[in-house]
């Protein structure tokens, strides 16, 4: 068992870690599992989840918006990045399914940026590159069509 003081100290430590940069539940567990007693860590995480400080669903939404704002990634690459943070694939898929139209538009625009950047390379090589990066075939096709019409 642990004291209220130990709980508060641990909670403060984890909150500082969280507020410095948003983290997933998995990242918090990995960081503190060796230094904090298991029951104490579990209780602190539970309280932080109840108070909205830890939410993998919110993390996914924020992370995807960040990726979309600064990178040219395929949807598949975004999913891999989220999985590497220890997020549950079901939660990721639910978010993707709910926002598939917006994500497809992002992927097409992302592919168009790459196509325009690599305009001195043969079309088939660009298509192969995009496909290898995980872009959907339909989105690659549409991106090329839109680039030709611009």
- Structural contact between residues 33 and 41, judged by C-beta atoms closer than 8 angstroms: yes
pTM over 0.75: yes
User: Distance (Å, rounded) from C-alpha 65 to C-alpha 123?
Assistant: 29
| 66-95 pLDDT tens trace | 999 988 999 999 999 999 999 999 999 999
- Structural contact between residues 147 and 109, judged by C-beta atoms closer than 8 angstroms: no
User: Distance (Å, rounded) from C-alpha 144 to C-alpha 30?
Assistant: 43
End-to-end CA distance of the chain: 67
User: Distance (Å, rounded) from C-alpha 45 to C-alpha 65?
Assistant: 25
137: Cβ contacts below 8 Å, ≥ 6 apart: 131
| 107-117 pLDDT tens trace | 999 999 999 99
Express as a percent the part of the chain with pLDDT over 90: 92
The pLDDT-based confidence of 119 (bands split at 50, 70, 90) is confident
Three-state DSSP at 122 gives coil
Mean pLDDT along residues 30-40:
95
Q: What's residue 135's pLDDT?
A: 97
86: Cβ contacts below 8 Å, ≥ 6 apart: 24, 25, 26, 27, 30
The pLDDT-based confidence of 1 (bands split at 50, 70, 90) is confident
When the pLDDT of each residue in the chain is averaged and rounded to a whole number, the result is: 94
Q: Is the pLDDT of residue 96 over 90?
A: yes
Q: Is the pLDDT of residue 140 over 80?
A: yes
Q: What's residue 150's pLDDT?
A: 77
User: Distance (Å, rounded) from C-alpha 107 to C-alpha 118?
Assistant: 16
Mean pLDDT along residues 124-135:
96
The pLDDT-based confidence of 137 (bands split at 50, 70, 90) is very high
Backbone phi and psi for residue 65, each to the nearest 5 degrees, phi listed first: -60, -40
Residue 34: DSSP 8-state: T
């Amino acid at each position: 068992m642990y004291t209220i003081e130990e709980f508060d100290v641990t909670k403060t430590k984890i909150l500082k870690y969280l507020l410095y940069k948003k983290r997933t539940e998995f990242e918090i567990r990995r960081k503190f599992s060796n230094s904090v007693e298991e029951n104490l860590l579990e209780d602190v995480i539970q309280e932080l989840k109840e108070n909205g400080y830890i939410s993998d669903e919110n993390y996914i939404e924020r992370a995807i918006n960040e990726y979309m704002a600064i990178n040219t990634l395929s949807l598949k690459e975004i999913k891999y990045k989220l999985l590497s943070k220890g997020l549950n694939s079901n939660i990721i898929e639910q978010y993707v399914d709910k926002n598939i139209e917006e994500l497809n538009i992002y992927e097409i625009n992302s592919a168009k940026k790459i196509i325009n950047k690599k305009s001195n390379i043969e079309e088939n090589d660009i298509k192969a590159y995009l496909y290898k990066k995980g872009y959907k075939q339909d989105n690659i096709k549409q991106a090329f069509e839109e680039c030709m019409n611009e």
